[in-house]
Amino acid sequence: ARVVTTLREAVVAGRREALLPMVEEALAQGRKAQAILSEDLVPGIMDVGVLYERKEYFLPQLLLSAETMQAGFDRLKPLLEEGQEAQARPKIVLATVEGDIHDIGKNIVGLMLRNHGFEVIDLGKDVSAERIVEAARESGAPVIGLSALMTTTMVRMEDTVRLLRERGMSQKVMVGGAVVTDAFARSIGADGHAADAVEAVRLVKRLMD
């Protein structure tokens, strides 16, 4: 097997057994979990996207790398979650839309929102418009966050906004994911688009004002 010497390379190579000890070592050296995530793991999975685009990687490698990234994320997660008090926190419903199983970005956004004091109702991935709208109604969450990573599933965001409005609901909708743009968000009647997790927190706060 290829020798991997950095966290980023371990994600690219899909070598979870190599990644986890490196994560421990980085933590032991005092590196922050957030830095490991954003400077190593995320760039690694982005490299994988480029290799896949160039057809140097195929689905099996894509999967292995995603699993490796996920294992690293799972290790860091408890460190990224700050203690939250039990007081009433503003709610947000979060989901990756129907037909789309990409959830790494959504999970990062969810974690970041939790760390900023929001109660995140995470419906998971491949979630129908019906279920999303239902969860929004039940929870009374003022904001709904939708993630989509593919051009073929972006349209499901539009379905969700339409269904929400058809039901006479006025919840705000935030959309995100690699393929989503501000122009697209506007075109489907969403209330805003965030390019990354930091922007997502800022946007949710603004939408709730």
Neighbour order of strands in the sheet with 192-194:
119-122, 91-96, 143-147, 172-176, 192-194
Q: Is position 19 an interface residue for ligand B1M (rule: CB under 6 A)?
A: no
Q: Is position 79 an interface residue for ligand B1M (rule: CB under 6 A)?
A: no
Give the DSSP letter string of 41-82: IHHHHHHHHHHHHTTSS-HHHHHHHHHHHHHHHHHHHHHH--
Q: 25-54 mask for ligand B1M (x: CB under 6 A)?
A: -----------------x--x--xx--xx-
Q: What is the DSSP letter of 38?
A: I
Nearest to 75 by CA among 25, 121, 118, 114: 25
Q: Is position 105 an interface residue for ligand B1M (rule: CB under 6 A)?
A: yes
At closest approach, how far in Å is the CB of 55 from ligand B1M? 9
Nearest residue by C-beta to ligand B1M?
105
Q: 180-209 mask for ligand B1M (x: CB under 6 A)?
A: --------------x-xx--x---------
Which of 62, 80, 155, 208 is the binder for ligand B1M (CB under 6 A)?
62
Q: Distance between CA 85 and CA 99 in Å, rounded?
A: 35
Sign of CA dihedral 42, 48, 52, 54: positive
At closest approach, how far in Å is the CB of 6 from ligand B1M? 17
Binding site for ligand B1M (CB under 6 A): 42, 45, 48-49, 52-53, 59, 62-63, 66, 99-106, 108-109, 145-147, 149-152, 174-179, 194, 196-197, 200
